[in-house]
Amino acid sequence: MEEANRSLDEVVLLDKPAGISSFGVVARVRGYWRRKLGIKKIKVGHSGTLDPFATGLLIILVGRATKKQDEYMHKDKVYEAVLELGKTSTTGDPEGEITQVSDKEISREEFEKVLPKFVGKIKQVPPIFSAIKIDGRRAYDLARKGEMPKMPEREVEIFSLELLDFNFPFVKIRTHVSSGTYIRSLVQDIGEEIGVGAYTKELRRTKIGDFSVEDVEDLQFYENKVEL
């Protein structure tokens, strides 16, 4: 195993589709290299989780490239998100329990007016349904068991936040953020600031540092190589 990991140093850029976890993508890439090299164990990691419902750029690190995982994970990122106003979700995304909290119709001007409040360094509380560890346990594992862990507030930076499309109750935004920023929390906070609630209906990561989703291999193509 060590010899195989020393001989490999590969960075794979993939466009993750919705409906598969980041771990699932890693498993497919690992399966390819296991078959190709005829070994059972090989180091494969990724540069930052995308939720199963989310799509977009996922950087997969193979062999010696896994030693650079922290370097990739700390790069800033660009996302495009579709918000649904007037509703909230227990998970902040379509996979949670959706609740109608307001019938008030918000105008494009009202929405745009609050965006500058979220640009710059801001305090943010990560979602309970996240991979953050609380006392050595994943927050989402605790939440699934009905526990309500207290999530630590963190400082993140929103470099830019722009409105791409407005068709109430659906709003599309693009945001350039620092590492560690949760878009689900950002959307929830925007909804609270406007006073009608919001959750992230769709999410797509388009950039990690200088890497763009336009330069990736499609996961289906990689699965074909893996011969699953």
Domains and CATH numbers, the chain: 2-74+210-226 (3.30.2350.10), 77-208 (3.30.2350.10)
**Residue owning tokens 């950039």:** 207
- pLDDT tens, residue order, the chain (228 aa): 455 555 578 888 999 999 998 888 888 888 888 888 877 788 898 888 898 999 999 999 988 888 888 888 899 999 999 999 999 998 899 988 899 999 999 999 999 999 999 999 999 987 665 555 555 555 555 556 555 666 677 899 999 999 999 999 999 999 999 998 999 999 999 999 999 999 999 999 999 999 999 888 656 545 544 332
Q: Please enumerate in sequence order all residues whose Cβ is within 8 A of that of 2, keeping only pairs 6 or more positions apart, or say none.
A: none
Q: What is the CA radius of gyration of the chain?
A: 19
- Which one from 15, 51, 93, 189 is the annotated catalytic residue? 51
Look at residue 151 in the predicted model and tell me its pLDDT. Answer: 64
Look at residue 122 in the predicted model and tell me its pLDDT. Answer: 96
Where b means 16+ CB within 10 Å and e means fewer, 190-200 reads bbeebebbbbb
Look at residue 130 in the predicted model and tell me its pLDDT. Answer: 54
The yes-or-no answer on residue 51 being catalytic is yes
Give the C-alpha separation, 71 to 111, whole Å.
Answer: 35
